[in-house]
């Protein structure tokens, strides 16, 4: 399962989370993107269920509205949606870390 985070206006926090996830040993790949207001972080391959992911998103400070909307969706509805292009702005990949050993 993947973990997505939308961190706005706290660049230092976004980078701290990114490096923490890279070195946690829990994910196969971690990416950080620059958005107009902040950063998107996507971590792939963690062995977590939906409840674990919601807890992690709250813990790391994901956008509160995104988290709450995802928490009330039906099981078959898509969750953790991040945009890649909005109002002419396209997110930019800043860094990607491929983890060893998973």
Q: What is the pLDDT of residues 6-60, one digit of tens each?
A: 999 889 999 999 999 999 999 999 999 999 889 999 999 878 888 898 999 999 9
Paired tokens of 16: 């701290």
Decide: 36 and 89 in contact? Cβ < 8 Å.
yes
Residue 79 pLDDT > 70, yes or no? yes
Decide: 82 and 4 in contact? Cβ < 8 Å.
yes
pTM (predicted TM-score):
0.86
């Amino acid at each position: 399962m993947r973990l997505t985070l939308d961190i706005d206006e706290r660049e230092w926090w976004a980078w701290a989370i990114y490096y923490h996830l890279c070195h946690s040993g829990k994910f196969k790949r971690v990416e950080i993107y620059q958005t107009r207001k902040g950063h998107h972080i996507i971590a792939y391959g963690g062995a977590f269920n939906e409840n674990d992911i919601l807890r992690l998103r709250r813990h790391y400070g994901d956008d509160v509205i995104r988290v709450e909307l995802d928490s009330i969706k039906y099981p078959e509805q898509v969750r953790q949606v991040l945009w890649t292009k909005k109002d002419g702005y396209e997110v930019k990949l800043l860094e990607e870390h491929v983890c060893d050993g998973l």
